[in-house]
A and B are shown apart, each in its own frame.
Chain A
């Protein structure tokens, strides 16, 4: 179903890949990626028909736009957002490293996915604080 895609950053990337792998186990999640704020893909696991580079460029742009919504916001201070269409949802989490994007089918349990993504964001913060 999914095609494993490239990673650009081996050290932190290893942890991030593991984290993404856990999120990919959620029901009705069909793909995900982690992208740096400059649009560089850190890790991705996407359906074969979805191209990683353009999606990551747009996900980083969306993440930055969310961070900039309020002038008081500093990096990584919007924890989570969900964008839904009738055919599926994109869940976006913000961390200091970059943004985590998950793609979900309409049947996905939105509250559960948002909760898991929130927890993943917390994990990245704790890993960087070590």
Chain B
């Protein structure tokens, strides 16, 4: 007892520097409390002491993913693989980042490596199914321009508001009052896009654009993302025991996107947040009917 007191007075009882393992454990506790930035800082400090820690780099990768810092997460996971080439969580982490970046082939390769080493890896199996589906056709393979407007053909898909009740009016044929010649309708007019719609995209399952309003330099990339999103959502629904995706509502910061799809096509309409869901869905169904008729 006396010895212990003297030892303490001499400084032997001074708190020791935590080991890197203790720092990693503390970082995990901080992460569990939602203090992600603090946890990431602590892991970075611990990795200075122990740069060869697989646990530390994995934890860093996970924290960077939570902080949505994909580039730094990628570096962390690559460091893990440099230390342990078949580490499954690092392979999965890199595969997820590759999928986010549209690098489908790299994603497939990483997941295949993980599954070759650990065949019972359900997360990797689920993502690989999605990646295979995406490479089967979701990537737009060529820039596509909208098909020229077909020769207006009478169709009875809907009745314009001005039409007499009970008398379907050909949608794609109107006469110019000045010339009395058939006026070619724009796709927006043919499909009767609602005036409230901020953006409309209609595409095939391989992301080939059939129609876009407005159309800009990023439109095809947006269409490809919509198809990718629909495929991942279908995979989620399948894992939950549900059927394939048919409708979606995606609330954004400024607008809400409504999606309608089947095996042959996909339509998205974006509206300002102040348009009610009922109104938006009604527009969506009407435009969807017109689009599917056009496609047929």
Contact = CB atoms under 8 A, between A and B. Distances in A.
B241 A82 contact: no
Interface stretch (B8-16, B27-35, B287-295): B27-35
Contact of B100 (A65, A90, A103): A65
Contact of A88 (B31, B32, B100, B240): B240
B34 A97 contact: yes
Given A11-B29, A11-B32, A57-B126, A50 B248 contact: no
B25 interface: no
B248 A81 contact: yes
B34 A127 contact: yes
A67 B68 contact: yes
A37 B68 contact: yes
B130 A61 contact: yes
A122 interface: no
Interface in A65-107: 65-70, 73-75, 77-90, 96-98, 101, 103
A110 B258 CA distance: 14
Interface residues of A, number: 60
A67 B225 CA distance: 12
20 contacts: A12-B34, A38-B93, A38-B96, A54-B122, A54-B123, A54-B125, A54-B126, A56-B123, A57-B124, A62-B233, A64-B100, A69-B229, A73-B252, A75-B67, A78-B251, A79-B251, A83-B245, A83-B248, A85-B242, A118-B251
Given A54-B126, A55-B126, A83-B233, 17 more contacts: A13-B32, A38-B96, A51-B122, A57-B124, A57-B126, A66-B229, A67-B68, A78-B253, A79-B251, A83-B236, A85-B243, A87-B241, A87-B243, A90-B236, A90-B237, A90-B242, A96-B34
Interface of B: 29, 31-34, 36, 61-62, 65-68, 73, 92-93, 96, 99-100, 122-127, 130, 225, 228-229, 232-233, 235-237, 239-253, 277
